[in-house]
Structure 1
Amino acid sequence: MDIMVDNLQGYGVIELLQAHLVDMYATSPPESVHTLDIEALKHPTITFLCAKQAGVVLGCVALKELTATHGEIKSMRTASAARNQGVACALLSHLFDMAQSRGYRQLSLETGSMVFFDPARRLYLRHGFNYCGPFSDYQPDPNSLFMTRLIESINL
Structure 2
Amino acid sequence: MKVEIRIETPLQDDVRVMVEDLNATMMPLTPREFQFQLTVEEMAGPGLTTFVARTEDGKAVGMASLKEHGSGLGEVKRMFTRPAVRGQRIGSKLLAAVETLAAERAINRLVLETGEAEGFEPAWRVYERGGFATCGAVLDYPDSGYSRFYEKTLSR
Q: 1:42, CA displacement in angstroms? A: 1.6
Q: 1:64, CA displacement in angstroms? A: 0.2
Q: 1:70, CA displacement in angstroms? A: 0.7
1:73 correspondence with 2:76: yes
Q: 1:99, CA displacement in angstroms? A: 0.8
Mapped to 2, the partners of 1:138 and 1:96 lie a distance apart of 21
Map 1:72-111; keep pairs closer than 5 Å. 72-111=75-114
* Other structure's SS at 1:115 match: coil
- TM-score normalised by L of structure 2: 0.93
* Other structure's SS at 2:143 match: coil
Percent of pairs with identical residues: 30
Q: 2:58 matched to which residue of 1?
A: 55
Unpaired stretches in structure 1, ≥5 consecutive residues: none
Tell me if the contact between 2:29 and 2:118 (Cα under 8 Å) persists in the aligned partners.
no
Mapped to 2, the partners of 1:26 and 1:149 lie a distance apart of 28
| Deviation larger for 40-49 or 107-116 | 40-49
Total equivalences in the alignment: 153
Return the letter of the residue paired with 1:56: K
Map 1:2-21; keep pairs closer than 5 Å. 2-21=4-23
Tell me if the contact between 1:66 and 1:136 (Cα under 8 Å) persists in the aligned partners.
no
Q: 1:144 matched to which residue of 2?
A: 147
Q: 1:60, CA displacement in angstroms? A: 0.1
* Other structure's SS at 2:119 match: helix
Mapped to 2, the partners of 1:31 and 1:103 lie a distance apart of 33
- TM-score normalised by L of structure 1: 0.93
Kindly report the root-mean-square deviation, in angstroms, between the aligned alpha carbons of the 2 structures. 1.3
* Other structure's SS at 1:9 match: coil
Q: 1:33 matched to which residue of 2?
A: 35
Mapped to 2, the partners of 1:142 and 1:33 lie a distance apart of 12
Q: Where in structure 1 do 4 or more consecutive aligned residues deviate above 2 Å?
A: none
